[in-house]
Amino acid sequence: MQAIILAAGLGRRLGEFTAENTKCMLPVNGIRLIDRMLAQLDTLQLERIVIVTGYAADNLRAHIATLPCRTPVVFVHNPVFDRTNNIYSLWLARDYMAMTDTLLLESDLIFEPAILSLALDSPEPNVALVSKYETWNDGTMVTIDSDCNIVNFITKKAFDYADVEDYYKTVNIYKFSSDFARNRYLPFLDAYIKMLGENEYYEQVLRVLTLIDSSGMKALPVNGLRWYEIDDVQDLRIAEAMFAAPEERLRMMQRAFGGYWRYPRLLDFCYLVNPYFPRRHMVEEMKANFDVLLRQYPSGMGVNSLLAGKYFGISDELVLPGNGAAELIKALMEGECGRVGVVFPTFEEYPNRLPAERVVAFHPDNEDFAYSADDLISFFSGKDISSLLIVNPDNPSGNFIPRAELIRLCEWARSRGVRLIVDESFVDFADDGVNASLLDNETLREWADTLIVMKSISKSYGVPGLRLGILASGDTALIARLKKQVAIWNINSFAEFYMQIYGKYQNDYLRACDSFRAERALFLRELQAVPGLRVIPSQANYFLCEITGGITAHELTLRLLSEQNILIKDCSSKHGFPAGRQYVRIAVRDRKDNATLTRAMLNLLK
């Protein structure tokens, strides 16, 4: 057995990172790709490692000469690397390929060592390592039958998003027997190059073999083993996170603030969305209008205010739509001149927009961080504040104040000349969510001098990628002023269209919230059965949990990520938690995912 590594490419998409070296010289977490790959291959007792060079070949050869690789390394050079593709590089190594069984690898890969063992241990003489298609995949796909025979190689031109459920991405690691190489692959490789040229991909030959009869290749799924192909700077950053040491990987994930769809098979229990909405038919309507929405400008503030008003059944003059609630929080809080009362722990986007000296903090004096309207009135009546912020249900505690109590707070706030800011982004998840909202014309106008309501559409409506939120108030002068502060096109066409069609699916949404509440109740019982975990009941789509037995919040978060690829929220660094006590926040997802997390927690906290 030998290995052939194709390392001739320019790597143009990596820009300055490959200005003087080929892609395999790229360091990932301080270790070059070629160093990692050679070290892994060096443990396999191979006859030789053949490296096909091209761009910056002298640099690569000089560097490899410094590595402690026991396996003999030989080089084949592609002098026309800048106008050929990997099919020609492999053709140049054809004599070696005919000698003995071969592991074929592309040099821009990073992978777990177990992936090579998987290929070598397979009883099949000819295998293509594959991974179930995910959104980050690019390049050659295959379809396979129930016996893992490769039915077809799908090129980029033939790729059809309607068929992605059937696709597997080639990992770009193959095992070829010498018999297969000599008698099937290499004759077709030679003929293909003569007929169609040198600027092609070697997988095309396998595709031809499959179309004629059968390639003789078996697909070998890697079944969750980590691998990544690095083509651009974003790929590099993701690979660094995937293959970092556990502590560093956790830090990198926490600093990403989302975009977790890029990370294969990650279960995100950190960010908070509705797992049951939008439903399939609404998504299909969005997809059906994708081309038009992509190519058209969105409407301005006037139209989008009308749509936001229609969405919530309020007048357009009372509502400001935003590019996510975050845009509106920034605009609102930066306009606050006085001191603001804040309950801690809470969603810190609000107080983070203020100087520390203008935040008046209230800390509930109980282990569940629970508080009522009376508690707030009692504490803040003696404080000099211009506004009072209430996140309802609160984040991360899940504490909930019923509507009647909120109205009493409005009365108190008016008597004190205080603005009451109520963020009800999670209110639809509450058991009395339908009746708890303050978003109606009568309420907003009655308390025009007092009440401001904020609502993220990302959370309860399950569309964080659209970036939608609203701010509402009967104070029309405030709304008008804030509308002038945000960009005229602050809502994109997809978000605008979503607001336009939402009314048709409102009953679906109400049913989705019912499904969610049932799942939350079941998940609560399951989490309460986990030893060493105290679960605080919640009216939102998450649970704040205190860890009471033998492990810190950081350790639990770290182990879930490194061992199970599950991300939860470590609340250790959040303001308002008692020193020395350990808390995490866990989102509520669907039944399958929640059961997966529960099993993982039981194993770690048993």
β partners of residue 103:
3, 175
Whether residues 155 and 25 fall in one domain:
yes
pLDDT band at 182 (very low <50, low <70, confident <90, very high): very high
pTM of this structure: 0.84
- 2-16, 283-297, 428-442, 493-507: the lowest-pLDDT one: 2-16
Instruction: Give backbone dihedrals phi and psi of 84, rounded to 5 degrees, phi first.
Output: -130, 175
The radius of gyration of the chain's CA atoms, rounded to the nearest angstrom, is 29
pLDDT band at 53 (very low <50, low <70, confident <90, very high): very high
- 195-204, 230-239, 433-442: the lowest-pLDDT one: 195-204
Whether residues 315 and 253 fall in one domain:
no
Q: In this model, does residue 12 exceed pLDDT 80?
A: no
Q: Residue 191: which residues within 8 A CB-CB, separation 6 or more?
A: none
Region of residue 141 (phi > 0: left; psi between -120 and 50: alpha; otherwise: beta):
beta
d(CA 106, CA 155): 17
d(CA 51, CA 84): 16
CATH code of the domain containing 224:
3.90.550.10
Instruction: Give backbone dihedrals phi and psi of 602, rounded to 5 degrees, phi first.
Output: -60, -40
CATH code of the domain containing 518:
3.90.1150.10
Q: Can you give the pLDDT at residue 215?
A: 63
Residues 430-442, mean pLDDT to the nearest whole number: 91
Residues 58-76, mean pLDDT to the nearest whole number: 95
Whether residues 261 and 130 fall in one domain:
no
pLDDT band at 107 (very low <50, low <70, confident <90, very high): very high
Q: Can you give the pLDDT at residue 574?
A: 85
Q: In this model, does residue 216 exceed pLDDT 80?
A: no
The predicted-structure confidence for 554-571, as pLDDT tens digits, reads as follows 999 999 999 999 999 999
Q: Can you give the pLDDT at residue 138?
A: 78
Domain stop point among 479, 504, 529: 504
Q: Mean pLDDT: which of 93-97, 220-224, 257-261 is highest?
A: 93-97
Domain stop point among 504, 536, 564: 504
Q: Can you give the pLDDT at residue 358?
A: 95
Work out how many domains the chain is built from and give that number.
Answer: 3
Whether residues 43 and 177 fall in one domain:
yes
Q: In this model, does residue 213 exceed pLDDT 80?
A: no
Q: In this model, does residue 579 exceed pLDDT 90?
A: no
Q: Which amino acid is at 341?
A: G
Q: Can you give the pLDDT at residue 204?
A: 83
pLDDT band at 345 (very low <50, low <70, confident <90, very high): very high
Q: How many CA atoms lie within 13 A of 307 on its CB side?
A: 23
Residues 574-581, mean pLDDT to the nearest whole number: 88
The parent domain of residue 269 ranges over 241-275+508-605
The predicted-structure confidence for 363-383, as pLDDT tens digits, reads as follows 999 999 999 999 999 999 989
Q: In this model, does residue 158 exceed pLDDT 90?
A: no
Q: Can you give the pLDDT at residue 276?
A: 96
Q: In this model, does residue 172 exceed pLDDT 80?
A: yes
Whether residues 500 and 518 fall in one domain:
no
Whether residues 516 and 529 fall in one domain:
yes
Whether residues 313 and 401 fall in one domain:
yes
Q: Can you give the pLDDT at residue 214?
A: 66
Whether residues 245 and 229 fall in one domain:
no
Q: In this model, does residue 303 exceed pLDDT 70?
A: yes
Name the token pair of 39.
């070290």
- DSSP assignment, residue 578? P
Q: Can you give the pLDDT at residue 194?
A: 86
Whether residues 341 and 374 fall in one domain:
yes
Whether residues 107 and 220 fall in one domain:
yes
CB contact at 8 A, 107 and 32: no
Whether residues 494 and 562 fall in one domain:
no
Name the token pair of 111.
């992978």
Q: Can you give the pLDDT at residue 282?
A: 97
Q: What percent of the chain has pLDDT over 70?
A: 100
Helix axes 301-312, 493-501, angle to 10 degrees: 30
Domain stop point among 187, 216, 238: 238
CATH code of the domain containing 430:
3.40.640.10
Burial degree of 495 (CB within 10 A; 0-12, 13-18, 19+)? buried
Instruction: Kindly report the average pLDDT of the chain as a whole number.
Output: 92
Q: In this model, does residue 111 exceed pLDDT 70?
A: yes
Whether residues 379 and 445 fall in one domain:
yes
Q: H/E element holding 308?
A: helix 301-312
CB contact at 8 A, 81 and 10: yes
Q: Can you give the pLDDT at residue 540?
A: 96
d(CA 197, CA 259): 40
